[in-house]
């Protein structure tokens, strides 16, 4: 039995195969319409979500399967003190696969230790978000034709943004990817990302504070929101929340084929006047998320 807890749980080749499968699902949806007849996915969300939970549910339903689960911990027996381990032992009786989001880092790994069914990490605290990463990789590959040889700017809350940590984790395996880390000093990437991922893998990277100084050098700009829920102080959040706002004027100095991605939800960091720019691809990224999650379900259930 296989789980997806980190983007590195799939090798580079397996990742390419999964993205090929997601692409095929995108262009031939009918071929997959009954692949999961009779199968069930449990979505256990101890933290809020729109895209991840609903796209997993849509993914299973697109393939003939059905869904069960909860969208907030308060409607489950966790309020009575039930552990993640006991919860997943129980849910293993009801479903064939489980996507779990939890505010505690490592909770999906604990779930996997107790589970009788494949577990997918749908986001754990400020740690990782592998299914978002695979969605990001699919979107970059569809736009650029390859996951090698480009400069990516990651902008915003690089400290708490789990999508950034997972994306860096995945991209250090590709060739000639350069990283520009754009954040205020207080929200720089954690030391383990800088030292264990970027430096130990010999990646070319720089850290800057001003987006305007580097935007013209980028092939991909990955914007992120300041993660309000992970701040200890409201004042500190308020001081940081509008640090970066991408607007049409800033995009003027970007390349004509520099694409803007964002895992969403956005707050203020991308002005809505950017949405109709042909380089704004964050809603296409959302679209790809369903195909990627279909591919993940098929792969983990050995239905490919
Ligand atoms: N990108 C993402 O994880 O969105 P949700 O929090 O809405 O699932």
Range of the domain at 83: 7-127+286-300
Answer yes or no: is pLDDT of 181 > 90: yes
Q: Does 131 contact ligand 1 (Cβ within 6 A)?
A: no
Answer yes or no: is pLDDT of 175 > 80: yes
Residues labelled as active-site residues: 51-52, 80, 101, 129
CB-CB contact of 57 with 84 (8 Å): no
Answer yes or no: is pLDDT of 105 > 90: yes
CB-CB contact of 53 with 99 (8 Å): yes
**Which tokens sit at 56?**
């997993």
Q: How confident is the model at residue 102 (pLDDT cuts 50, 70, 90)?
A: very high
Claim to verify: residue 140 and residue 109 sit in the same structural domain: no
Claim to verify: residue 205 and residue 295 sit in the same structural domain: no
How much distance in Å is there from the Cα of 133 to the middle of ligand 1? 11
Q: How confident is the model at residue 284 (pLDDT cuts 50, 70, 90)?
A: very high
Domain membership of residue 88 (yes or no) is yes
Claim to verify: residue 159 and residue 263 sit in the same structural domain: yes
Ligand 1: residue of 72, 261, 264 to mutate (most ligand atoms within 8 A of CB) is 264
Helix residue ranges per DSSP H, 145-273: 162-171, 191-192, 234-240, 248-251
How many domains does the chain fold into? Answer: 2
Domain membership of residue 1 (yes or no) is no
Q: Give the number of the atom of ligand 1 that is nearest the alpha carbon of residue 47.
A: 6
Rounded percentage of the chain residues whose pLDDT exceeds 70: 100
Residue 243 has what pLDDT?
84
Claim to verify: residue 278 and residue 294 sit in the same structural domain: no
Claim to verify: residue 27 and residue 123 sit in the same structural domain: yes
Q: How confident is the model at residue 114 (pLDDT cuts 50, 70, 90)?
A: very high
**Which tokens sit at 54?**
């609903």
Answer yes or no: is pLDDT of 173 > 80: yes
Q: How confident is the model at residue 126 (pLDDT cuts 50, 70, 90)?
A: confident
Claim to verify: residue 25 and residue 143 sit in the same structural domain: no
Half-sphere exposure for 194 (CA within 13 Å, toward CB) = 11
Q: pLDDT tens-digit profile of 209-224?
A: 999 999 999 999 999 9
Rounded mean pLDDT of 75-91? 94
Q: At what angle do helices 162-171 and 130-144 cross, to 10 degrees?
A: 60
Cβ partners under 8 Å of residue 284, min gap 6? 139
Claim to verify: residue 152 and residue 111 sit in the same structural domain: no
Pick the residue with more confidence: 242 or 149? 149
Residue 119 has what pLDDT?
98
Q: Give the number of the atom of ligand 1 that is nearest the alpha carbon of residue 263.
A: 1
Claim to verify: residue 195 and residue 217 sit in the same structural domain: yes
Domain membership of residue 76 (yes or no) is yes
Q: Does 84 contact ligand 1 (Cβ within 6 A)?
A: no
Q: Does 49 contact ligand 1 (Cβ within 6 A)?
A: yes
How much distance in Å is there from the Cα of 127 to the middle of ligand 1? 14
How much distance in Å is there from the Cα of 264 to the middle of ligand 1? 6
Beta pairing partners, 155 = 182, 223
CB-CB contact of 94 with 69 (8 Å): no
The closest alpha carbon to 117, from 96, 93, 100, 101, belongs to 96
Q: Give the number of the atom of ligand 1 that is nearest the alpha carbon of residue 123.
A: 3
How much distance in Å is there from the Cα of 229 to the middle of ligand 1? 13
3-state class of 81 per DSSP? Answer: coil
Q: Does 50 contact ligand 1 (Cβ within 6 A)?
A: yes
Alpha-carbon gap, residue 263 to 135, rounded angstroms: 9
Pick the residue with more confidence: 78 or 116? 116
Claim to verify: residue 47 and residue 31 sit in the same structural domain: yes
Q: At what angle do helices 282-300 and 12-27 cross, to 10 degrees?
A: 110
How much distance in Å is there from the Cα of 48 to the middle of ligand 1? 8
> Residue 151 sits in a domain of what CATH number?
3.40.50.1370
Q: pLDDT tens-digit profile of 221-236?
A: 999 998 777 777 888 7
CB-CB contact of 274 with 260 (8 Å): yes
User: Quick one: residue 223, left, alpha or beta (phi over 0 = left, psi -120 to 50 = alpha)?
Assistant: beta
Domain membership of residue 209 (yes or no) is yes
Q: How confident is the model at residue 237 (pLDDT cuts 50, 70, 90)?
A: confident
């Amino acid at each position: 039995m296989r789980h997806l807890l980190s983007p590195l749980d799939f090798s580079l080749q397996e990742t390419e195969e999964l993205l090929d499968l997601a692409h095929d699902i995108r262009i031939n949806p009918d071929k997959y319409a009954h692949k999961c007849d009779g199968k069930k996915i449990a979505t256990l969300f101890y933290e809020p979500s729109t895209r991840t939970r609903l796209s997993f549910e849509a993914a299973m339903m697109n393939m003939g399967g059905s869904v069960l689960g909860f969208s907030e911990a308060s409607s489950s027996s966790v309020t009575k003190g039930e552990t993640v381990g006991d919860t997943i032992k129980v849910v293993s009786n009801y479903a064939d696969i489980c996507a779990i989001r939890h505010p505690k880092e490592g909770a999906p790994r604990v779930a996997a230790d107790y589970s009788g069914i494949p577990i997918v990490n749908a986001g754990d605290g400020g740690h990782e978000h592998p299914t978002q990463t695979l969605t990001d990789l699919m979107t970059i590959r569809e736009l650029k034709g390859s996951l090698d040889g480009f400069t990516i700017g990651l902008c915003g809350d690089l400290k708490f943004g789990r999508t950034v940590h997972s994306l860096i984790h995945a991209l250090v395996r590709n060739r000639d990817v350069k990283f520009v880390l754009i954040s205020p000093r207080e929200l720089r990437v954690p030391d383990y990302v800088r030292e264990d991922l970027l430096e130990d893998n010999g990646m070319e990277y720089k850290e800057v504070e001003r987006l305007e100084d580097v935007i013209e050098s980028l092939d991909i700009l990955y914007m992120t929101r300041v993660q309000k829920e992970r701040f200890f102080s409201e004042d500190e959040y308020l001081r940081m929340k509008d640090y970066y706002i991408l607007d049409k004027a800033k995009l003027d100095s970007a390349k004509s084929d520099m694409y803007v991605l964002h895992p969403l939800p956005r707050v203020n960091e991308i002005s809505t006047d950017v949405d109709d720019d042909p380089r704004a691809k964050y809603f296409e990224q959302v679209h790809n998320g369903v195909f990627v999650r279909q591919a993940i379900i098929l792969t983990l259930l050995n239905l490919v």
